[in-house]
Amino acid sequence: MKKNKTYVQLTDRYSAHNYHPLPVVLTQGKGAWVWDVEGNKYLDMLSAYSALNQGHCHPHIVKALNTQAKRLTLTSRAFHNDQMAFFLKKLCALSGYEKALPMNSGAEAVETAIKVARKWGYTKKKVEKDRAEIIVCENNFHGRTTTIVGFSTEAQYRNGFGCFAPGFVTIPYNDPAALEKAINQNTVGFLLEPIQGEGGVVVPDKGYLKEGYKICRKHNVLLIDDEIQTGLGRTGALFACDHEKVRPDIIIVGKALSGGCYPVSAVLCDDHIMNVLKPGDHGSTFGGNPLASAVGIAALEVIKKERLAQRANKLGAWFMKELSTIDSPLIKEVRGRGLLIGVVLKEKARPYCERLMERGILAKETHELVVRFAPPLIISKQELSWALPRIKDVLTG
């Protein structure tokens, strides 16, 4: 039996060193649990950054994947396929939007939303050519493409990758007054995360999204809500914006849209926005392919049938309360919503994630000082109860 170390060394030899993963090599997963190549069992408390809301290898999604893979995997958008229409219909019905544009990765979907918003600005709002601006927030994380890192405020994400695209204005997060002040005649969109996940699980004040929506309405600006990590049940509602009963103009979804089985993302909006796109304006060879569509249908069915948002709401409130009772001088704050929870430490979180791994829990640091807990939404209270004393032991030991 090969050891974790063997695979890690091989990866280091042949892979670009653009990640710093924990030294564990996974080979099997089921539900909320994974196993490494040495046979050790771990509780997955990261869910592939919320891509695995439905758990590892959910049988309903895997069945759909295998069935479709035997029939037809790819047509490109040069032709229709018999799965995409039903996938988009289900996605629109569940979300309440009139149109969906399927892509693959979350970053692709963000780029797509930016293109849609800009063309809407030129076509519908009549912004002067090449002057459209989109407002973004400090501490944001929307992906890794050059356009997106160009409006990041994280120095490492930008260093060495310029020059960057113009047309983005940065304001503080959780500051409606700054949004109002930044808007001008060229502003076409306000792009934000309802909770900043990679930024450290930063939860804005109650009413922030609602106030942002009102300001956008006042100035004829599109509210663009990145729900790639927070959406599809993670925060205890289908979308995090639902907690404030806000309906953004554009919603971006990904990750759990496939239950972790295949890259699937999409941009959602109503027809009066989406209809600015004409044939040839945008595309993707794999976007909306029959395999992705079949997987997406099954993933959405699991979210609805198993009431994953409701589970996240109930279990998340309980789990966060239990984490808050841990008496440790190391802990600065426990924050989050649903099953997206960050434990903010007073020192670097990486060593504590390594110690959690040694005790059978896989979590990952974010923003250096935060241990993020975001398990699959199918996790049971018993499984979370198993984790709690081990977490307490690491954070108090």
CATH number at residue 365: 3.90.1150.10
pLDDT at 2: 77
Pair 350, 211 in one domain: no
Pair 122, 196 in one domain: yes
Pair 128, 196 in one domain: yes
Mean pLDDT by 10 residues, the chain (397 residues): 88 94 97 97 98 98 98 97 98 98 98 98 98 98 97 94 95 98 98 97 98 98 98 98 98 98 98 98 97 98 98 98 97 98 98 98 96 98 98 95
Q: Which residue in 255, 286, 364, 373 is the catalytic one?
A: 255
Q: Which residue in 226, 239, 249, 286 is the catalytic one?
A: 226
Pair 158, 113 in one domain: yes
Pair 222, 353 in one domain: no
Q: Is 141 a catalytic residue?
A: yes
How many domains is the chain built from?
2
CATH number at residue 192: 3.40.640.10
Which of 237, 270, 305 is the last residue before a domain boundary?
Answer: 305
Pair 343, 360 in one domain: yes
Q: Which domain holds residue 220?
A: 59-305
Task: Determine the Cα–Cα distance for residues 23 and 144; give it in Å rounded to an integer.
Answer: 24
Pair 42, 113 in one domain: no
Pair 319, 299 in one domain: no
DSSP E strands in 244-326: the ranges are: 250-253, 265-269
- Tell me phi and psi for residue 256, to 5 degrees: -70, -5
pLDDT at 55: 98
Pair 234, 130 in one domain: yes
pLDDT at 1: 65
Q: Are 334 and 343 spatial neighbours (Cβ–Cβ below 8 Å)? A: yes
What is the per-residue burial (b if ≥16 Cβ within 10 Å, else e) of 339-357? bbbbbbbeeebeebbebbb
DSSP E strands in the chain: the ranges are: 26-30, 33-36, 41-44, 99-103, 133-137, 168-171, 187-192, 222-226, 250-253, 265-269, 331-337, 340-345, 361-362, 364-366, 370-373
Which of 276, 305, 334 is the last residue before a domain boundary?
Answer: 305
Q: Is 226 a catalytic residue?
A: yes
Pair 46, 182 in one domain: no
Q: Which residue in 36, 44, 99, 141 is the catalytic one?
A: 141
pLDDT at 131: 98
Query: Hey, which residues does 209 pair with through a beta bridge?
Result: none
Q: Are 269 and 250 spatial neighbours (Cβ–Cβ below 8 Å)? A: yes
Which of 270, 289, 305 is the last residue before a domain boundary?
Answer: 305
Environment class of 78 (CB within 10 Å of its CB; exposed 0-12, middle 13-18, buried 19+): exposed
Task: Determine the Cα–Cα distance for residues 160 and 194; give it in Å rounded to an integer.
Answer: 29
Pair 214, 132 in one domain: yes
Pair 45, 95 in one domain: no
DSSP symbol at 393? H
Q: Are 52 and 283 spatial neighbours (Cβ–Cβ below 8 Å)? A: no
Q: Are 312 and 338 spatial neighbours (Cβ–Cβ below 8 Å)? A: yes
